[in-house]
Amino acid sequence: MWKEVGQREMGRLASHSFVNRIKSNRISSLELSNYKEILSAHKGAINSLQVDLTDGRYLLAGASDGSAAVYDVQCPARYEGNGLVAKHEKIFVIDKQHEQGHKYAISSAIWYPIDTGLFITGSYDHFVNVWDTNTTQVVVNFKMPGKVYRTAMSSVAKSHMLIATGTEDVQVRLCDIASGAFTHTLSGHRDGVMTVEWSNSNEWVLVTGGCDGAIRFWDIRRAGCYLVLDQLQTQLGRRPPVLLQSSLKGSTSKSIPDQSSFLKARTPQKKSAYGNGTKHTSIHNRTKSSMGQRQHPGMLSSHDRATAHYGAVIGLKVSEDGMYLLSAGSDSRLRLWDIGSGCNTLVNYEATRLQMSKGIQLAVTQDSSLVFVPCMTTVKAFDIWSGRTSMTFRGHYEKVNCCWFSSQDQELYTGSNDRQILVWSPSHPVHAVEDERGGEVLMSNSDQDNWSD
């Protein structure tokens, strides 16, 4: 670390590079925190975790006992261990005893992206509730046709306040907080929808993963999905950087004709050659399909039935730049997709075992270099581009269901069937030193100076 500080002081290291190196060093030293503990208020498995997107301070958790709780992860309730272990208790909890609480398991709990005044819970009791954080009362609720598996709101949306919901029904429903009604019903999956995820680069694009093994992309301004991912449609390697793409395009623009101009030049020739225009029509249709335009949603094709996994899609995560999609399936496979081309990038993630009974919540680092995946009783951090296991986190006693990475503090939060919420923080060693009276006192490295004897 001090080497980077010296390089930064001398101007040899740019500010953003300095920040990235510090964050990378902190992430590489993640371990079970010995100075921060969250006291779980739940009596069932932890199914969902999220730190608010505005302050990065409040952790929202949903559990299978029908409870939802909020924890302050910045300001502890008390200290133990001579003031070195911070205990973080619940600010409030909503359970079955609450007059408006859920009757069955909460499968998804998310914050309203704009501020912490609202949060949303989805449950197996077929309801999606929107809660006022200050009064802990339901502002509006939505009745679903089946169990709610996952809810999501766009973090980049400026034109809508829609909650995407995946349920055991085949249709994806979009709920509008402002009107309290359903605005869209998206049809295409042939089985329940286990997970939903909004794009990080386009407020109108929604990604859904179903029990039918399909991953579908939707533009909610249009009817029908516009892309179905096919695991057999592949491209090897990572997409070139944007600057490289633009330079290649400029250097080859004179030697290689643009595809659209080529088609425009060929079309009139075919029309004049055949006269009746019949051949022109077939070429035009073929051109539309080759250019990747979607067919009418009522027309089923072999591409429409393509699958991304051989089992249910149980987890989705869009990279921070919105260019790639990570998917996890009950076939115990992880896949990385190039969103622009819709191709499987063929990254071979090391063998792992994923649970099959319910969805899991993935997490990625801010630079999208690592993905955290719940793998039975452990959480594994995979290098996104090589597929190798970077770290393995062991601490839970039962299956891990969810994880959330806080880019503000470089901390990882995980929830499990053992009802515990564990905190994984950058290494913070503690040493024992003697005080003036001869007794031992615990002191962390951050509290020590470098010049004392």
Which ranges of 275-363 does DSSP label H, i.e. alpha helix?
278-290
Report the amino acid identity of residue 437. R
- H/E stretch holding 416: strand 411-416
Residue with tokens 């499990």: 416
Q: Are 218 and 184 in contact (CB under 8 A)?
A: no
Query: Distance of CA 191 to CAs 16, 211, 312, Å?
Result: 45, 5, 9
Distance of alpha carbon 357 from alpha carbon 383, whole angstroms: 26
pLDDT band at 184 (very low <50, low <70, confident <90, very high): confident
Distance of alpha carbon 165 from alpha carbon 311, whole angstroms: 20
How confident is the model at residue 430, as a pLDDT? 47
Q: Are 128 and 87 in contact (CB under 8 A)?
A: no
Taking residues 25-33, what's their average pLDDT? 88
Comparison of pLDDT for 407 and 439, the residue scoring more: 407
How confident is the model at residue 427, as a pLDDT? 79
Distance of alpha carbon 78 from alpha carbon 88, whole angstroms: 7
Distance of alpha carbon 48 from alpha carbon 150, whole angstroms: 9
Query: Distance of CA 318 to CAs 30, 134, 199, 375, 402, Å?
Result: 23, 31, 7, 19, 16
Residue with tokens 């990747």: 292
Chain segment 58-81, per-residue pLDDT in tens: 999 999 999 999 999 999 999 988
Tokens of 287: 């051109």
Distance of alpha carbon 289 from alpha carbon 220, whole angstroms: 21
Beta bridge partners of 201: none
* Percent of the chain whose pLDDT exceeds 70: 75
Comparison of pLDDT for 368 and 175, the residue scoring more: 175
Burial call 274-293: b when 16+ CB within 10 Å, e when fewer = eeeeeebeebeeebeeeeee
Distance of alpha carbon 110 from alpha carbon 154, whole angstroms: 11
Comparison of pLDDT for 254 and 401, the residue scoring more: 401
Report the amino acid identity of residue 335. R
The model's pTM:
0.80
Tokens of 126: 């077929």
Listed in sequence order, the residues at least 6 apart from 297 whose beta carbon sits closer than 8 Å to its beta carbon are 187, 188, 223, 224, 225
Is 183 exposed, middle or buried, given 0-12, 13-18 or 19+ CB atoms closer than 10 A? middle
- Exposure of 271 in the CB half-sphere (CA atoms within 13 A): 10
Asked if pLDDT for residue 115 goes beyond 70, the answer is yes
pLDDT band at 167 (very low <50, low <70, confident <90, very high): very high
Distance of alpha carbon 187 from alpha carbon 223, whole angstroms: 9
Residue with tokens 């996994």: 309
Chain segment 285-340, per-residue pLDDT in tens: 433 443 344 454 443 555 678 899 999 999 999 998 889 999 999 999 999 999 99
SS3 content of the chain, % helix, strand, coil (to 5): 15, 40, 45
User: Domains in the chain, start-ordered, CATH in brackets?
Assistant: 30-237+304-446 (2.130.10.10), 259-287 (no CATH)
Asked if pLDDT for residue 419 goes beyond 60, the answer is yes
Asked if pLDDT for residue 209 goes beyond 80, the answer is yes
Computed over its alpha carbons, how large is the radius of gyration of the chain?
25
Distance of alpha carbon 207 from alpha carbon 408, whole angstroms: 26
pLDDT band at 366 (very low <50, low <70, confident <90, very high): confident
Comparison of pLDDT for 410 and 431, the residue scoring more: 410
Q: What is the mean pLDDT of the chain?
A: 81
Asked if pLDDT for residue 399 goes beyond 70, the answer is yes
Is 383 exposed, middle or buried, given 0-12, 13-18 or 19+ CB atoms closer than 10 A? middle
Distance of alpha carbon 167 from alpha carbon 356, whole angstroms: 16
Q: What is the DSSP letter of 388?
A: -
How confident is the model at residue 303, as a pLDDT? 66
pLDDT band at 18 (very low <50, low <70, confident <90, very high): low
Asked if pLDDT for residue 380 goes beyond 60, the answer is yes
Chain segment 92-114, per-residue pLDDT in tens: 999 999 999 999 999 999 999 99
Q: Are 122 and 128 in contact (CB under 8 A)?
A: yes
pLDDT band at 409 (very low <50, low <70, confident <90, very high): confident
Comparison of pLDDT for 23 and 449, the residue scoring more: 23
Among candidate residues 111, 73, 71, 112, the one with its CA nearest the CA of residue 92: 71
Among candidate residues 71, 68, 69, the one with its CA nearest the CA of residue 87: 71
Distance of alpha carbon 393 from alpha carbon 379, whole angstroms: 5
Tokens of 297: 């949603």
